[in-house]
Amino acid sequence: MGSGQYLYAIMAIDDPQEMRFKGLGIDRGDVYAIAAGNIAAIVSKVPPDKRIRPERRHLAAHHGVLARLMETATPLPMAFGIIAENGSAVKKILDKYRREFLKHTRRVSNKVEMGLKVIWDVPNIFDYFVITHPQLKELRDRFFWIHHNPTQEQKIELGRTFERLLNEDREAYTRQVSEVLSEYCHEIKANKCARESEVMNLACLVDRRGIERFEEGIFAAANQFDNNFAFDYSGPWAPHNFVNIDLKI
């Protein structure tokens, strides 16, 4: 039985021999390129029947390979855990998706992904919304007036009103920040907020040489907000949020 091939990324490269990194991959495997014409998969050997679990060491190796590739070029990052049966299967994938791979490599060429998270930096998000949204305050006061125990229906109505106002503010603030940042990056994708206190979670496609200018855009956007908001940006990363290829293996 031959070796399985764990896929880290797809790249358009001239010389596959230049893509060799000893001991960098999953289980300290050597990382190398399998090419089909001018497009290549960056891989390392694993047992073909092995399922790579998302353990910390495996995730670190996966992202470590991407970080190494990002030092010189922008790869198309593959989702964690993709394994082809062998080298021939990898070449079949490259042939099958060649047009899509080339389209995406041109799109992200010389670009990186930067992340921006904005949070409400307040002790209690509900209390903050009560203060800043008269509609919520009126409802809260009416349902929770002294010596009154609100009904379950009233609690649900208050919660739904808070949720609606929260999402309305998120949408408005996201539009506001995106309008500013659109002058500093090529594309912006708004991802789902993971926490209640999160205002927005943006992925931005930025010129590799334009990171400092993008940071200027972050400060320009932040200047439109008061101290109840905290801006935190990160990167550069491989463009995970701007590559969506559904591989059928």
Residue 150's pLDDT band (cuts 50, 70, 90): confident
Choose one of 74, 109, 144: the last residue of a domain. Answer: 109
Query: Is residue 191 located within the same domain as residue 206?
Result: yes
Residue 147 has pLDDT above 70, yes or no: no
Pairwise CA distance, residues 217 & 208, whole Å: 15
Residues 184 and 214 sit within 8 Å (Cβ to Cβ): yes
Query: Is residue 80 located within the same domain as residue 118?
Result: no
Query: Is residue 172 located within the same domain as residue 217?
Result: yes
Domain annotation covers residue 200: yes
Q: What is the pTM for the complete model shown?
A: 0.88
Specify the pLDDT at position 18: 78
Gyration radius of the chain over CA positions = 23
Pairwise CA distance, residues 225 & 228, whole Å: 8
**C-beta neighbour count of 185 within 10 angstroms:** 23
Query: Is residue 99 located within the same domain as residue 123?
Result: no
Pairwise CA distance, residues 196 & 163, whole Å: 9
Scanning the structure block, which residue is given the tokens 């014409």?
37
Six-digit token string for 50: 């092995």
Specify the pLDDT at position 146: 61
Query: Is residue 15 located within the same domain as residue 68?
Result: yes
Q: How many residues does the chain have?
A: 249
Query: Is residue 119 located within the same domain as residue 231?
Result: yes
Specify the pLDDT at position 221: 98
Domain with 95, as residue range(s), is 4-109
Residue 165 has pLDDT above 80, yes or no: yes
Choose one of 91, 109, 127: the last residue of a domain. Answer: 109
Domain annotation covers residue 82: yes
In this prediction, residues 75-80 reach a mean pLDDT of 94
Domain annotation covers residue 247: no
Query: Which tens digits make up the pLDDT trace of 179-214?
Result: 999 999 999 999 999 999 999 999 999 999 999 999
Domain annotation covers residue 31: yes
Residue 161 has pLDDT above 90, yes or no: yes
Query: Is residue 94 located within the same domain as residue 185?
Result: no
Pairwise CA distance, residues 85 & 46, whole Å: 9
Six-digit token string for 9: 């990324």
Six-digit token string for 140: 């809260």
Domain annotation covers residue 248: no
Give Cα separations from 199 to 61, 136, 222 (angstroms).
31, 18, 13
Closest-CA residue to 121 (of 232, 31, 212) = 232
Specify the pLDDT at position 226: 97
Query: Is residue 125 located within the same domain as residue 227?
Result: yes
Six-digit token string for 88: 């021939």
Query: Which tens digits make up the pLDDT trace of 13-52?
Result: 877 777 899 999 999 999 999 999 889 999 999 987 778 8
Quickly list DSSP for 18-48: G--BTT-SGGGPPEEEEEETTEEEEEEEE-T
Domain annotation covers residue 23: yes
Number of domains in the chain: 2
Query: Is residue 127 located within the same domain as residue 215?
Result: yes
Query: Is residue 135 located within the same domain as residue 199?
Result: yes
Specify the pLDDT at position 172: 98
Specify the pLDDT at position 13: 84
Query: Is residue 87 located within the same domain as residue 166?
Result: no
Specify the pLDDT at position 37: 86
In a 3-state reduction of DSSP, which class is residue 5?
A: strand
Closest-CA residue to 33 (of 90, 115, 71) = 90
Choose one of 47, 76, 109: the last residue of a domain. Answer: 109
Query: Is residue 118 located within the same domain as residue 46?
Result: no
